[in-house]
Amino acid sequence: MRKLILQLHLWIGLTAGAILSIVGITGSVYVFQPELTALLYPELYQSTAPDVKVIDARTIVAKAEAQFGGEVSTILFPLRELENYIVKVEGKNEFVFYDGATGAYLGEMAKRRGVLEDVLEIHRQLTIGEVGSTITGISSLLLAVVLLSSGFYLWLPHKKKQLKEGLRLKPNASFKRRNYDVHKVFGFYFIIPLLLVSITGVYFAFSEQVQVVVDYVTSTNEPTPDVTKIKSTYRTDLPEVTIGQALDMMDTMYPGYHKRNLIMPKDSADRVYFSVVNAAEIDAGPEYRPQVYVDQYTGKVLFAYEPHTAPAGHRLTRNWFVPIHFGEIGGWFTRIVWFVSGLMPAILWISGIIIWRNRTSKKKKNGQAYNAVNR
């Protein structure tokens, strides 16, 4: 049985390990995305007067529409690493930045977070779209279901006195022994962070399927709406909801929350979407993020995700999975642990290859010696 599990661990680790290494390293970088983005693009992300009260979004909308001659279709509000406003204007592909304190135009960028968007794309999709998302999702599933469980089984000592060897690196060891200890010991200590990251990672790749499982486990009978199918009913007798009216709804419905984003309809069947969040800065614990979909003609709420009153299965995935996956669940401590955990798949993959090569070489030498003796 142990030999079978060892072979399973070996071959899945060798194949899926390459993908998991890429996903893990980019994930480590993205753990500190807020700080890195502000550091790389301070002229766009950092306000000229961060202690001054943020000006009203309506002022930014008026400035952007006057400057570019099109309607503002998206607003990203000052939040977390972003101290300024980001807007998208119809007919313009770039993200436009305005100072959160003064409303002054700061510049433009093709991607909202610059190079960090490329890091996220590699992390999620390996730059090859939905196929890449499927590959990373399957690799994460293999890590959670096969590699970590089989690795833990193989780590378990046969005798109690061997337990100590599985918990520390042997001093003054040879390279082969040190490599083996690195694989075994690090694999054990990071099993829980890797399990949490991989399970939540599977959700981002296969959200509908994972939600079905979570709903079943939590006895949630109410299905999660497919938000991509939430549409407005086309009307010719009513004017469209304006961006000002949408901002009023955000103020009225969630006065104690911080505005996150507002997206206006892209066509006559689309809907107004906005979300708010409980904390303006990165905070430990779950993320409470109400999300609202509004008919663009009647102003009626088509669907609103309420993080405190939603069914248990929905609350688990939407409130907890994002901060768990990016290590924000426990503040700075878990972010640092998650950063190191992201490097573990590459470390375990490389050390696993070395172990495999050493054992293959040993078997080859033993075979040659046996043939020499029996000639």
User: Using one digit for the tens of pLDDT, what is the confidence trace for 125-179?
Assistant: 999 999 999 999 999 999 999 999 999 998 988 777 677 777 888 888 899 999 9
Domains in the chain with CATH codes: 2-215+330-373 (no CATH), 229-310 (3.10.450)
The amino acid that residue 120 corresponds to is L
- Taking the whole predicted model, whether its pTM rises above 0.85 is answered as yes
pLDDT at position 223, please? 84
* Top-confidence residue, 374 or 84: 84
| Nearest-angstrom CA–CA distance, 176 and 178 | 6
Residue 363 pLDDT class (50, 70, 90 cuts): low
> Could you identify the residue written with the tokens 């992201």?
342
pLDDT at position 92, please? 95
| Nearest-angstrom CA–CA distance, 257 and 234 | 31
Phi, psi of 216 (to 5 degrees): -65, -45
pLDDT at position 21, please? 97
User: Using one digit for the tens of pLDDT, what is the confidence trace for 291-330?
Assistant: 999 999 999 999 999 999 999 999 999 999 999 999 999 9
Q: What's the per-residue H, E or C state across 2-40?
A: HHHHHHHHHHHHHHHHHHHHHHHHHHHHHHCHHHHHHHH
pLDDT at position 163, please? 79
User: Using one digit for the tens of pLDDT, what is the confidence trace for 3-59?
Assistant: 899 999 999 999 999 999 999 999 999 999 999 999 999 999 999 998 899 999 999
pLDDT score of 359 more than 90: no
Pull the structure tokens for residue 328.
């924000």
pLDDT score of 2 more than 90: no
pLDDT at position 224, please? 79
* Top-confidence residue, 375 or 263: 263
pLDDT at position 78, please? 97
Residue 3: how many CB atoms within 10 A of its CB? Answer: 7
Residue 365 pLDDT class (50, 70, 90 cuts): low
pLDDT at position 361, please? 73
Residue 358 pLDDT class (50, 70, 90 cuts): confident
Q: With the CA atoms of 16, 20, 23 and 27 taken in that order, what torsion angle do they form, in degrees rounded to the nearest 10? A: 160
The amino acid that residue 292 corresponds to is V
CB 152 within 8 A of CB 302: no
Which helix (H) or strand (E) covers residue 105, if one does?
strand 105-109
User: Using one digit for the tens of pLDDT, what is the confidence trace for 261-294?
Assistant: 999 999 999 999 999 999 999 989 999 999 999 9
pLDDT at position 164, please? 76
> In terms of Cα–Cα distance, which of 263, 204, 255, 265 is closest to 232?
265
User: Using one digit for the tens of pLDDT, what is the confidence trace for 77-121?
Assistant: 999 999 999 999 999 999 999 999 999 999 999 999 999 999 999
Q: Does residue 103 come out as left (phi exceeding 0), alpha (psi in the -120 to 50 range) or beta?
A: left
